[in-house]
Amino acid sequence: MVDDREIIYFDPVPTPRTAVDRREIQGVPLASDVRFDSLLGEPVVIAAHRQSRTFLPPTDRCPLCPSTMERATEIPEHDYAVVSLENRFPALERCEVVCFTSDHHATFASLSFERARLVVDVWADRSAELGARPGVAQVFCFENYGSEIGVTLSHPHGQIYAYPFITPRTRGVLELNPLGGSLFADYLALETATDERVVVADEHWVAFVPKAARWPYEVLMFPRRRVANIPELVDAERDSFVRCYLDVLNRFAHRFAEPMPYVAAWHQAPVAHRSRWWLHLQVFSIRRAADKLKYLAASESAMGVFINDTIPEAVAAELRAVTW
C-alpha cells in the first residue's frame, strides 16, 4: 500500500491483482504502550493514536469497499473475495483487518458456504504466519458485529491481533490446566453430557450454551477432535465448522426482529503452549431481550463477577427453535 502496509488478496481461483494504491496518505505512527497493572498482574494497551480512526462513515465513504474510478479506498482493486490488510490504526504492532466480502451490505451470516470457507482458510493462513513471528505470544481472530457492540466500520469484516503476551483469560485457563491436563476434555464432556444446552452439532463440531454463561446469549463451539489452533483443522473439520457456524449466526440473526449484535472470538493456543489447549470459538451477544441490552455495570466491570439475566437452558431452547 502507499504507506507501506501489507495487503493480501485471497481468491477462490488464481486472480491477477495489479491495482495500485493511488491515494496520497501518510502512515499513522504506532504509539501503543503495553503497560502492566502491578496490582492485578494484567497488561493494558494504551493506544491513544486510535482516537483519530475512522468512525462510522456513510456507506459511500466506507474505506473497506473496493476502489472505484471516483474514489480510492483501502482496497485498491475494483472487486475482491477476501482481503487481509494491516490495520491503519493498530492497537498493537501487528493488527490486521480481514474483509469477508466486497459487498458492503452483507453479513457473515449471509455469506455463501464457499465464501465462509475461504474466510476460515484466511484465518488459518494468517494465524500460522503471525504466530511464527518473533515476539508474538498469541494470535486472536475475532469479529465485532453491530453498532451496539461498538463497531466503527459497518462493512463486514473482522480483525486479527498478534499479542506480544498471553492474554489474562488464556493465562487463567492454562493455570487450571497444568502440563496438558484433562481440563478441556472434562469440561466438554460435562457440558455436552445431555442435549439440553446443545444448539447444533455434527460429527466434527458441537455448539452449546455453557452452563455458566456470562452473556445473555452465548454459544461455545468446540471441535470434537482436540486441536490447538485453526491451522490444525483438516478440510473436513473446516467444512463442518462453516456449516455449524453459519447455522449459529443465523439463529442469532433471527432470534429477534432485528439481528443481534455479537462478538465472535477464537480462543487459540498461545504459541508456546499448544499441547495444553483445545481450540474453541465463543459467540456472544449483549442483547438480553428484544428491546434491552446487557451492560457491564459495577459487579462485572469492577469485580469481574458476571450476573446473567437469562437461563442458559432456556436460551439453548430458544435458539434451537429459531427458523429462517
| DSSP run (H or E) holding 251 | helix 235-254
Q: Is 94 exposed, middle or buried (0-12, 13-18, 19+ CB in 10 A)?
A: buried
Burial code (b: 16+ CB inside 10 Å, e: under 16) for 25-50 equals: eeebeeeeeeeeeeeeeeeeeebeeb
- Establish whether 280 is a catalytic residue: no
Closest among 282, 259, 104 to 208, alpha carbons compared = 282
The catalytic residue among 49, 104, 157, 273 is 157
User: What three-state secondary structure class fits 138?
Assistant: strand
| DSSP run (H or E) holding 216 | none
> DSSP string covering 108-125, please?
GGGS-HHHHHHHHHHHHH
Task: Look up residue 19 and give its three cell numbers.
Answer: 491495482
Task: Look up residue 21 and give its three cell numbers.
Answer: 494504491
Catalytic annotation, residues: 157
